[in-house]
Amino acid sequence: MLILECPCCGVKAEETELSPGGEAHLKRFGPGSSDEEFEAYMFARKNPKGVHFERWRHAYGCGKWFLAARCTATLEVFGTYPAQTSEPPADIVAKIKAKRPDWKGYK
């Protein structure tokens, strides 16, 4: 039963207030993209056992989407940040590196 702090309204939200939305920072591929690009956009997921960046919506709260950095093996949360972010913020990346020296990084 997760708690994630919504970066929009500041509420430490119970999991029951939230809707999960899958992997974050996916790049959309539309018309003109190759079959491989489109398949990867639709289906290829990092699915890491460890540090993961993912989308959540504060569905039964302020309604805003946000992103979270979370460990899928321990459920530790490293931080949450607004959905309008194209890659993980430096402070969260630094925090993860400090806690998980083995982490291979976001890319």
Please tell me the total number of residues recorded for the chain in this structure. 107
Q: Does 33 bind another protein (CB under 8 A)?
A: yes
In angstroms, what CA-CA distances link 30 with 20, 25, 37, 80, 87? Answer: 24, 16, 9, 28, 20
Among 83, 97, 103, 106, the residue binding another protein under the rule CB under 8 A is 83
Taking the chain, what is the end-to-end CA distance rounded to the nearest angstrom?
28
> Which position among 7, 57, 92, 93 is part of the footprint of another protein (CB under 8 A)?
57
Q: Does 2 bind another protein (CB under 8 A)?
A: yes
Rule CB under 8 A: choose which of 7, 10, 54, 91 binds another protein. 54
Is residue 103 involved in binding another protein (CB under 8 A)?
no
Nearer to another protein, 77 or 89 (CB): 77
| CA distance readout (Å), 76 to 40, 80, 92, 95, 100 | 27, 12, 13, 12, 11
d(CA 10, CA 39): 36
Are 12 and 1 in contact by the 8 Å Cβ rule? The answer is no
Instruction: Please report how close the Cβ of residue 83 comes to another protein at its closest, in angstroms.
Output: 5
Residues within the interface to another protein (CB under 8 A) = 1-3, 14-16, 19-23, 28-33, 35-36, 38-39, 42-45, 47-49, 52, 54-55, 57, 59, 63-65, 72-77, 83-84, 99
